[in-house]
Amino acid sequence: MHALVTGGGGFLGRYIVEQLLARGDRVRSLGRGRYPELETLGVEVFRGDIADRDAVSKACQSVDAVFHVAALPGIAMQWAPYEQANIRGTAHVIAGCRAQGVSRLVYTSSPSVVFAGVDQCGVNESAPYDFAWMKANGAHYSHSKALAEQAVLAATDATLRTCALRPHLIWGPRDNHLIPRLIARARAGRLRRVGDGTNRVDTIYVENAAVAHLQAADALLDASSSVAGRAYFLSQNEPANCWEWIDEILELVKLPPVRKTISRRNAERAGALLENIYRLLSLSGEPPMTRFLAAQLATSHWFDLSASRRDFGYAPAFSTAEGMQRLGAWLRS
């Protein structure tokens, strides 16, 4: 197929691009940067912002499927950038697909769209959005992604088949977000275990997340596919103790395990204070702690993958052990 990957120069996006190329598909990427490494691979690189409706529509011309990966992540306190990138940008992608006759759209969502501050143990896709909790706790990323996911799923019809994938805690070589920040905090002595340290979480190795995107897009080829209009959780399907997993990553770069702890209540108090400071002073960037982050770090969240297995055959192609070996080699290189 001829595929467009928004954010094709990013962490997950680039792996999707590479897997598409490896099986012989034509690939176009839309992003704000130049990404000469993609051009070297033979990718048609379109430079533009997903918040630019015309640029998105142009990028959608003559493609069969769109993988909408680009998004604004993080825990910043200003709503407007999330609304522009994640909600308006996704609306532009949907409109571009319609205007250019694209038949398939795979949206990269997040399990945080159904997170409401409590343990999630083995939950499936029937878990509801809790917009009240997101608004009350300043969870702009998950709030904006949830609204965008709703729009994508509602857009599915006879001419455009859509689905949303929810990979949880993506990690692996070339990560430019989660792992580097974790290591930087540990080196600076600013990493604290939040809660009692017993919470279990799902994670996903980045190449497994990319494989799932291709599988979902292929499943959407069938006009009667059960995948159309649905969201799916993705993970390694082996929940790990959150803090033991973090310690394993730190060990890859010869850093000691996390020793200091803070209660969830105190972390949330600190987060609320920092959120107010960032809002009142209109500070850019992200607070070192927020109420949302405290809740995420102190609770369990792992998911039932029955639907993704059943509907498009998802199963982790790369084990966690193999992924950690590859991550360690990259971190030491």
CA distance 144 to 206: 23
Going from the C-alpha of 282 to that of each of 32, 78, 290, the distances in angstroms are: 25, 8, 15
CA distance 164 to 228: 9
One DSSP character per residue, 239-291 reads: -EEHHHHHHHHHHHTTPPPP--EE-HHHHHHHHHHHHHHHHHTT--S--S--H
Ramachandran category for residue 131: left, alpha or beta (phi over 0 → left; psi -120 to 50 → alpha): alpha
Instruction: Report yes or no: 117 and 299 within 8 Å, Cβ to Cβ.
Output: yes
Residues designated catalytic? 141
Of 71, 69, 51, 72, nearest to 13 by C-alpha is: 69
Percent helix / strand / coil, the chain, rounded to 5: 45, 15, 40
Question: In the β-sheet with 301-303, what is the strand arrangement from edge to edge?
Answer: 120-123, 301-303, 200-201, 240-241
Read off the tokens for 217. 């897009």
Q: Determine the 3-state secondary structure of 295 from DSSP.
A: helix
Ramachandran category for residue 74: left, alpha or beta (phi over 0 → left; psi -120 to 50 → alpha): left
CA distance 184 to 176: 12
CA distance 301 to 296: 8
